[in-house]
Chain A
Amino acid sequence: MKARPPTFTKFREVQAELDRSGAALFRDADGVESLVIRYPYSIQYIHSYAEDTPFFLGLAEGRLRGSKCRRVKCGFVYATPRGHCMVCGSPTEWVDLPDHGRLHSWTTCHFGSEAFLKETPYNLGLVEFSGVGSLLLVRLKDAVESDLFVGMPVEARFSPNPTYSITDVWFVPSR
């Protein structure tokens, strides 16, 4: 049994050792040693879509739904639905969104958080719809960085195998 894990003076090397054996010593410029270990941590959350549920069920049926303020004098239409209107506080009702829109803005992500690194590069777009007061953030497919521009007409596509996630819908350039 070894009493002491190996010592390193670069933190990168410490990280590599943790991947190998789970423990390492870091020695700083003053000679101070610190014992560093690996500590795994994983969670399965039980996540309810709650009042947003009809949106995600809609995606599975190939329907894009927003919400509209029920107060006639307000009537604000949201592309990203919300149960209550942020302008006047009234309850909203479900409305179908057009499946065609335009790019309000876009980017191509060459990195992402760990969970999405394997999907890079991917495009994100904020889509605006005629007569709708807010936007919808989506993945853009069938287009590369050099194709995309603000104002570009885009249209919705739906996954035939829904995972009940916002990724069940994506947009592609309109033909």
Chain B
Amino acid sequence: MPARSKARAMARPRRRPTAPARVATPPSKGRRVFMVTGGVTKFAKAHPAMDFRLMVKRAYDYALKGIPNLSADRIDGSRISYFSDHFARQLKAASMVQDYLGLNPKGSVRIEWGGATGGECFQAAYEAVASGRMDVCLAAGFETMSRVATWKGNEFIALASDTNFDFPLGGFYTGYYALMVVRHIYEYLRLRKFADVKDEREAQRLAIAEGSRIMSLVSVKNHVNALHNPYAQYPKRLTVEDVLRSEMISYPLTREQICTMSDGAAVAVLCDAERAKEFTDRPVRIIGVGTGTDTMRLADRPFGKVPLLPHERSRDYEDLPYPGVHSFRAGRAAGIEAYRHAGITNPIRELDFLELHDAYASSEIQTYEDLGLCRYGEGYSFVERGDPFLKGIDYGFPVPRAGKIPVNPSGGLIACGHPVGATGLMQGVFAFWQLQETIGKHFGDPTLQLSKPKRGAIHSHAGTGSSVTVSILERGFP
């Protein structure tokens, strides 16, 4: 018996597979929707001099300033997002934002969807325009996480896990993500790269050390990219050793592999084709939207078949129980819907960059696979080859294929921060500036500007992968 299948037989009893997940949402048939402007406040540990209304107002004023003929009276309504009433300690905080911006009595809805709150808000504004209900819709989001101490904040976040079965065990999201990456490492490093090591514990230790090293490369990438992003909370030059030596939070995840809590706000203005033409000669079109979901509890993720992307074959994954806890079926489902809507058949060829929800360095690697940037199991080698790195930046180690498909050119959540209700919109704004080729203007530093990017994706992720959004943006001008 070869080592690999022997290890499998030992660790995985036979279980009844569920039916393959069917992802059959038809592509949107709505009107064409464009993004015409956006704004972000600098994300920070705390903004004591600004409450949530003023943060949103600053981002909103910045966005409107860019377009002379876009004033509040042209906006038909809003979608406003924040994640947690616990952090806000102010119910109907979205009403107070609408009020402060002077948008009453126009229509507005509060959006909440865990960590994917911002991404969902972006899509809610998309839907308002695509459906024809509005011609111009404001998407605005914020979070004020500095209002409690860090470990209390972790408790609030952990209330987004099942309070009967999961929360009372320790209530800790980093713990949940650690459980997922330990299994991911087992599936793809222990059973593959270290298949020949006979001693099971030794093989698993080697695999975890290797996985930790590669996760650290992702952390270095995102922190170093952020050195050129003035909006980022934690830009810094780090080495792999710095990341590995930082405090152990939940084995094997260290502090530098995890995003932090932040205060911040972001806004995006979406509109129909006619208005877009009027507002700007550099509009960006939203060509695909997708969402996916999965069980709230990690423990309930079934073992079935992989829903395939167009460029994959079922024989790629014959032996892979899916999703288990090693992959995000919600991310896969969101990707399938968004790609189909956008007409994308091979994401790595047809996307120029991604802003990806890297709450953990581990989940960035897991998500490469879910979104088909590489096959399941290839996430670690994808990082080592350098595919998600930017060309022309010194990371302190070789990145041979840098620029293949930059992921988190802005620095992502790990380096920019994660004020939950704003995060997905921040990604939208950074992607918008990339596609407009205005990064130099907004960042005061052109280093992160990609050369003529045509298409990018933003990815917003909630819970332990219980809901995910993917939106695809395309340059809408010649």
Contacts and interface: CB of A to CB of B under 8 A. Distances in A.
Contacts of B300: 78, 80, 82, 86, 134-135
A150 B251 contact: no
Contacts of B182: 105-107, 150
Interface stretch (A89-97, A118-126, A154-162): A118-126
Interface in A39-89: 39, 41, 47, 49, 52, 75-80, 82, 86-87
Contacts of B295: 86
A41 B89 contact: yes
Contacts of A172: none
Given A34-B49, A113-B172, A124-B175, A145 B154 contact: no
Interface string B15-29: 110110000000000
A167 interface: yes
Tell me if A's interface is mostly helix, strand, loop or mixed: mixed
Given A76-B16, A113-B152, A133 B303 contact: yes
Contacts of A133: 15-16, 18, 302-303
B154 A104 contact: no
Contacts of A124: 169-170, 175, 178-179
A70 B46 CA distance: 52
A112 B174 CA distance: 8
B7 to A, nearest CB: 8
B89 to A, nearest CB: 7
Contact of A105 (B19, B155, B174, B186): B186
Interface residues of B, number: 60
B325 A105 contact: yes
B343 to A, nearest CB: 32
A131 B15 contact: yes
Given A107-B182, A166-B168, A112 B299 contact: no
A138 B10 CA distance: 21
Interface in B163-221: 163-166, 168-172, 174-175, 178-180, 182-183, 186, 190, 200-201, 204
Contacts of B10: 151
A110 B252 CA distance: 10
B250 A87 contact: no
Interface of A: 11, 14-15, 26, 28, 32, 34, 36, 39, 41, 47, 49, 52, 75-80, 82, 86-87, 102, 104-117, 119, 122, 124-126, 128-139, 145, 149-151, 165-167
Interface of B: 7, 10-16, 18-19, 45-46, 48-49, 89, 146, 149, 151-152, 154-155, 157-158, 163-166, 168-172, 174-175, 178-180, 182-183, 186, 190, 200-201, 204, 247-252, 295, 297-303, 324-325
